[in-house]
Amino acid sequence: MDSLTDAPEPVQPAPTPNRAATPAKATRDPEGTRARIMAAATEEFARYGLGGARIDRIAEQAGTNKRMLYYHVGNKEELYLAVLEGAYAHIRATERTLNLEKLAPPEAIARLIEFTWQYFIDHPEFMALLNIENLHRAELLKTSAHVQSMHSPFVQMIADVLARGVEQGVFRAGVDPVQLYISIAGLSYFYLSNVHTLSVIFGRDLLAEPAREERLGHMVELVLKALRP
């Protein structure tokens, strides 16, 4: 009987971790998880807008769950703002690689126009996000602590190109760099955001390669002529 009393208790199997609640990938790779969340959220918000976007779909696309999504980026509005800030940060960072300071002023402005045009073509999600936030009157963008500071160096970059152009006698004085960029962006933005209706109205395929090349050449010529002394 003593042997029965002293017999060891059966070993209980270890509990299985709840992998759905805490994905192994997410815990081992927080930077990768956040990057996947941001990529999925950018696509979701660009397609459905702030109101139509669903956190469930974003989490599923990112390979995580809502709890981990909230942990990494916060609630839906905070995620949307992070997507907006990320979109602006990406285009501004890419613009810095243009090395406009190494180009002659007219070439630098032409390069900026070409870049802006091609960036809008390559990143339709950026234009979609701008449309959505303007529909909301930039209410969430106004709360950003970063968006204005990330644009200051960009404005200065354009101002420096204009100043060099004035010094060299190829640009007129008094051009506001902010107004210039709004004009450059607007020339591309309006065309591409309305290209389908414009194509129907004027009976042209305005997305065809010859039409796109013609538009780019027209924009460069228009802006450079406006800058001449």
pLDDT tens for residues 121-159?
Answer: 999 999 999 999 999 999 999 999 999 999 999 999 999
Q: Which CATH superfamily is 19-227 part of? A: Tetracycline Repressor, domain 2 (1.10.357.10)
CA distance 162 to 164: 5
CA distance 23 to 216: 47
Per-residue pLDDT for 19 more than 50? no
pLDDT for position 18: 42
Give the end-to-end CA distance of the chain in Å, rounded to a whole number. 110
What DSSP line would sit under 67-111, residue for residue? HHHHHHH-SHHHHHHHHHHHHHHHHHHHHHTT-GGGS-HHHHHHH
Per-residue pLDDT for 14 more than 70? no
Listed by start position, the domains of the chain span: 19-227
Task: Give 76-130 pLDDT, tens digit per residue.
Answer: 999 999 999 999 999 999 999 999 999 999 999 999 999 999 999 999 999 999 9
> What does the block give as tokens for 150?
């990330």
pLDDT band at 2; cut points 50, 70, 90: very low
CA distance 188 to 217: 12
Tell which wins on pLDDT, 3 or 189. 189
> What does the block give as tokens for 151?
């644009």
* CA atoms 79, 84, 87, 90: torsion sign: negative
pLDDT band at 27; cut points 50, 70, 90: low
